[in-house]
Amino acid sequence: MNEKELNGWIQGCRRGDSVAQYELHRQLYRYAYHICIRYTSNDFEAEELVQDGFLKVFTKIDQYSGEQSFLAWFKVILIHTCIDRYRSRLSEAPKVGLEEAADLSRTPEYLVNAEAEHLLALLQQLSPAYRVCFNMYAIEGYGYQEIADMLGISIGSVKSNISKARTQLKAMIGQDQKAYHNGK
């Protein structure tokens, strides 16, 4: 996809052209899916989020000013779509006690070197609260306060969720390593 094609599809989407919407969707679906799957526990929900995200893009395309790249604007909409879904399910989730977490600025070496697909599968096993906070912090690069503001929770909750996510991920990776060594 080149810049000229992308701009043509954007202009077509602004006019409500279904062919342009189809092409934009077709070209960016995988990109969108890879963002959304990090925030969900299964493929079906990720696909729903992708479709919701595209719907928002098509209805808000006139708000795209061109000051930033279209992909950056698109990514923000997708992340906010995932966060909105998470927020809507907060009332359904069991409440967990909150505790302050230690400074979490260092990513463990084994997490950096682990295979991406395997890590994604492990991330999907985390509770929604842990998964969303961890993704926003470790993958998207948001700060604690930004995450707290976006999710409408305290900074202590954010730190706690990230800490617990890391603890659970370490335990899952440790179990994988133990199973691997026992199977040798």
The pLDDT assigned to 115 comes to 60
The pLDDT assigned to 119 comes to 74
- N-term to C-term CA, the chain: 46
- The domains found in the chain, sorted by start residue, are 3-90 (1.10.1740.10), 109-183 (1.10.10.10)
- Is-contact 35 78, C-beta < 8 A? yes
Comparing CA positions, the residue from 95, 91, 80 lying closest to residue 157 is 95
- Is-contact 134 126, C-beta < 8 A? yes
| Mean pLDDT in order along the chain per 10 residues (184 residues) | 88 94 95 92 91 95 90 92 83 48 46 60 85 88 89 91 90 76 64
- Is-contact 132 83, C-beta < 8 A? yes
pTM of the predicted model over 0.75: no
